Structure 1
Amino acid sequence: MASNKVDAKVVLLGKSYAGKTCLVERYLKDRFLGETVPYQNTIGAAYGAKTVNIDGHSIVIGIWDTAGSERYEAMSRIYYRGAKAAILCFDLTDKSSFDRIRFWIGELHQHEENCKIYLCATKCDLVEENPERRAVQDSVAKALAKDCMANIYETSSKTGKNIDELFEKIAEDYVKEKVAADELEQEAIRIAEIGRKAHCPCS
């Protein structure tokens, strides 16, 4: 059941058929629908949430699974506004889905520069079964990740490989940044209080 309280807003971006919806299904419901349910395009965006505990902090991850069709790309800006993290998905067997990732990196840098980027290579089970199906070489994907200072994960919604690890890293990074921001705020308050006392007339 989704919560009204969201600590970390996460948005999934990428082409249609890149595996975004299956990724969310595996993470939130621990199920794989790819082989049992006919594919349906996400229209606009779908939402789900999960509570996780990181280093004693309980946070709610709110996940927006956006439409991959290019005609919905302008609409996607509505959903990634204010996002703390963006998972950019590409299908390891589809080079065009990887090529489109640079578009999303540019969009985020232009409109949400504080949004942290994570690259997610989906359907790794297919290339593990048949290496000839790999259309995106590991070195090329890692070079792009280095360029945009992003972590990269090869995942499989069918087997669940690296999916929990991806979202756990997002949660850990969020908590780390939040703790650091809280400490800076407390330090600023402390310094302001010292300044106030220093300028307070003594009786």
Structure 2
Amino acid sequence: MSNLQSNFNQKIDYVFKVVLIGDSAVGKSQLLSRFSRNMFSLDSKATIGVEFQTKTLVIDKKAIKAQIWDTAGQERYRAVTSAYYRGAVGAMLVYDMTKRQSFDHITRWLDELRGHADKNIVIMLIGNKSDLDSLRLVPTEDAKEFAQMESLFFMETSALEATNVEAAFNTILTEIYRVVSRKTLIANEDTDTDGSASLLEGVKIVVPGQEPQPATSATCCRS
């Protein structure tokens, strides 16, 4: 109880807004529920507009409050949700690995994201529902190739079985923290325009060209 009380009273060092985007019914809400509350509901309903949950974790001895926004995937809400990209420092592009169309639509979602969000945003591609591997219609190598081409993190998850959910969120939040830390360091060491501008080039994320991993494995690295 003392540790819980200590965490409750802990000063928050950073608040990071992360958006979940992708087609309807790919499992965005279930990923959020599993990460924030360690819950999964078989009776989940479609998200209307935008919802969000928060969770505080510690990275490099800093208290990070993750504010995760769950955006509705239905077309009729696209105009509403586009405004919520503003201020996001991270994004998870989610597709259902048993629905090829949801993966094919990722390019469109990525274009929309890059059109509304800051260019330094950290982006992760998520192939959800890895527990349904026998129904897989999106090969892991296809997703890896796309992630490498677009410089994205990539991970396959199962919200139902809690596979890689924590790892995926921790990975993206840790990378956001690294980007912010570098920005602070550069600002402290070099306040001239060129020094600040060099940070805006961002960090290139690539996926190693190796044999496809099982659906429950995670693949991500930095070049």
TM-score normalised by L of structure 2: 0.77
Counterpart amino acid of residue 145 in structure 1: A
Q: 2:75 aligns with which of 70, 78, 83?
A: 70
State, as a whole percentage, how many aligned pairs show the same letter: 36
Q: 1:145 aligns with which of 141, 144, 147?
A: 147
Q: 1:125 aligns with which of 111, 128, 131?
A: 131
Match of 1:88 in 2: 93
Q: Secondary structure at the match of 2:190?
A: helix
Paired positions, count: 181
Q: How does 1:151-190 map to 2 (within 5 A)?
A: 151-189=153-191
- Cα distance between partner residues in 1 of 2:190 and 2:141: 43
Q: In the alignment, is residue 48 of structure 1 matched against residue 56 of structure 2?
A: no
Q: 1:20 aligns with which of 8, 17, 28?
A: 28
Structure 1 residue 47: Cα displacement: 0.9
1:108 touches 1:115 (CA, 8 Å); kept in 2?
Answer: no
1:48 touches 1:64 (CA, 8 Å); kept in 2?
Answer: yes
Q: Secondary structure at the match of 1:7?
A: strand
The structure showing larger relative contact order (alpha-carbon pairs under 8 Å, at least 6 residues apart) is: 1
Max Rg structure: 1
Q: 2:64 aligns with which of 59, 62, 68?
A: 59
- Cα distance between partner residues in 2 of 1:12 and 1:125: 20
Counterpart amino acid of residue 145 in structure 2: A
- Cα distance between partner residues in 2 of 1:102 and 1:161: 25
- Cα distance between partner residues in 1 of 2:30 and 2:121: 23
Over aligned residue pairs, what C-alpha RMSD do you find?
1.7
- Cα distance between partner residues in 2 of 1:150 and 1:66: 20
TM-score normalised by L of structure 1: 0.84
Structure 1: 5+ residue stretches without partners: 192-203
Structure 1 residue 169: Cα displacement: 0.7
Counterpart amino acid of residue 123 in structure 1: K
- Cα distance between partner residues in 1 of 2:121 and 2:174: 15
Q: In the alignment, is residue 98 of structure 1 matched against residue 103 of structure 2?
A: yes
2:15 touches 2:65 (CA, 8 Å); kept in 1?
Answer: yes
Match of 1:201 in 2: none
